[in-house]
Copies of this chain bind each other. A is one copy, B any other.
Amino acid sequence: MERTIVIIGGDAAGMSAAAKAKRTNPECEVFVFEKGPFVSYAACGLPYLLSGAVRSHHDLLSRTVEQFEQQGVKVQTEAEVVELSPGTRSVTVKDLRGGGSYQQSFDACITATGASTIRPSLPGAGALGVFTLRSLRDALTLREHLERYRPRHATLVGGGYVSMEMAEALRQLRLEITLVEAQGQVMPSLDPPMAALVQRELARHGVRVVLDSPVRRLEVGGNGLVTGVETATEGWRTDLVLFGVGVRPNVALAEACHLPLDATGGIRTNQRMETDRPGLFAAGDCTSATHLLTGKRAYLPLGTTANKQGRVAGENAAGGSARFEGVVGSAVTKVFGLEVARTGLTERDAEELSGSVATAQITESSRARYYPGGSPLAVRLLANRATGKLIGGQVIGDEGAAKRLDVIATALHAEMTADQFARLDLCYAPPFSPVWDPLLIAASELQKDL
Contact = CB atoms under 8 A, between A and B. Distances in A.
Contact of A427 (B331, B427, B429, B433): B331
Nearest to A423: B325
B304 A425 contact: yes
28 contacts: A42-B368, A44-B368, A44-B429, A44-B435, A45-B430, A53-B371, A53-B372, A54-B370, A54-B372, A59-B370, A304-B425, A304-B426, A304-B436, A307-B436, A324-B423, A329-B425, A330-B426, A341-B427, A343-B425, A400-B403, A403-B404, A403-B406, A403-B432, A406-B426, A406-B437, A409-B425, A410-B426, A411-B414
A327 interface: yes
Number of copies: 2
Interface in A325-359: 325-334, 339, 341-343
Given A328-B425, A423-B308, A45 B371 contact: yes
Contacts of A423: 308, 324-325, 413
Contacts of A259: none
Interface string A46-70: 0010000110000110000000000
A44 B430 CA distance: 7
A386 interface: no
Contacts of A432: 332, 334, 339, 402-403
A370 B429 contact: no
Interface string A296-311: 0000001111011000
Task: Pick the most buried of A327, A405, A410, A437: most chain B CB atoms within 10 A of its CB.
Answer: A410
A12 interface: yes
A351 B372 CA distance: 40
Nearest to A344: B425
A321 interface: no
A101 interface: no
Interface string A29-52: 000000000000010110010000
A370 B45 contact: yes
Contacts of A53: 371-372
A407 interface: yes
Which bracket fits the contact residues of A? 35 or more
Contacts of A416: 410, 413-414
Contact of A327 (B303, B342, B425): B425
Contacts of A439: 406
A183 interface: no
Contacts of A407: 403, 406-407, 410
A341 B425 CA distance: 13
Contact of A410 (B54, B327, B414): B414
B430 A48 contact: yes
A256 interface: no
Task: Pick the most buried of A406, A413, A420, A431: most chain B CB atoms within 10 A of its CB.
Answer: A406
Cβ-closest 8 pairs across A and B: A414-B414, A403-B403, A332-B427, A59-B370, A402-B432, A330-B427, A410-B410, A327-B425
A400 B400 CA distance: 8
A82 interface: no
A308 B421 CA distance: 13
B325 A368 contact: no
Contacts of A410: 407, 410-411, 414, 416, 424, 426
B42 A435 contact: yes
A189 to B, nearest CB: 11
A428 interface: yes
Contacts of A409: 424-427
Contacts of A304: 425-428, 435-436
